[in-house]
Amino acid sequence: MILSRYPFRTLLIAAAVVSALAAGGASADDHKKQSHEAARQALLRKEVLPLTRILAIAAQRAPGEVIEVELEQGDHGRLKYDLKILAKTGRIRELELDAKTGATLKLEDD
């Protein structure tokens, strides 16, 4: 399993995996629960790839230590994964992947 190579980051990634999909005015806990549920439902509907697949794609396209992952709504309402990766050079790279296909939307140095 890919995540076993990243024990520390597993918790960090799990905590950062979802973003603003909840209604305004909700508490932070309500927002987090709604965001997690929306992400889980998107995965069940096959609207997003599982995180393990996204990490494998990221390792191929931008090798390094994944330090942050967020699932966000991108342009035109499509979901995307935003990843921050610490390259071996010490630079932070930003990788955006289409959440459904894994296609690279953006790769740049921060």
- Residue 103 β-bridge partners: none
Q: Greater confidence, 31 or 101?
A: 101
pLDDT at 88: 93
pLDDT at 9: 45
> What confidence tens digit (pLDDT) does each residue in 59-76 have?
999 999 999 999 999 888
pLDDT at 25: 53
Distance CA 43, CA 51 (A): 10
Reading the block at residue 54, the tokens are 């996204």
Mean pLDDT of 66-87: 93
Per-residue CA distances from 48 to 24, 82, 91, 98 (Å): 24, 13, 28, 8
Residue of 1, 86, 87 whose CA lies nearest to 51 = 1
Residue 12 has pLDDT above 50, yes or no: no
Overall pTM surpassing 0.85 (yes/no) = no
Domains of the chain: 2-109 (3.10.450.40)
Residue position matching structure tokens 């794609």: 57
